[in-house]
Amino acid sequence: MQTICIYCGSSDKIEQKFLDAAYEMGQIIANRGYTMTFGGGKTGLMGMAANGC
């Protein structure tokens, strides 16, 4: 199993289009069978990527 590490913000003051893109990125990572490592936050881009994954 391969792991992808992402670095992104946890601010909730960001445009929806960026939150949507982070969610989609998480989905792509998961759908391709990778594990995602990140800062562990539940908000902002970090949280959306985790939710997508």
Q: Which residue, among 49, 42, 3, 5, has the nearest Cα to 27 in the 3D structure?
A: 49
Count of domains in the chain? 1
DSSP string of 15-27?
-HHHHHHHHHHHH
- Note down the domain range covering 29: 3-52
CA atoms within 13 A on the CB side of 34: 17
pLDDT at 5 over 80: yes
Please tell me the distance from the alpha carbon of residue 46 to that of residue 38, in angstroms, as a whole number: 7
pLDDT at 1 over 80: no
Please tell me the distance from the alpha carbon of residue 8 to that of residue 39, in angstroms, as a whole number: 8
Dump pLDDT digits (tens) for 12-53.
Answer: 899 999 999 999 999 999 999 999 998 888 999 999 999 999
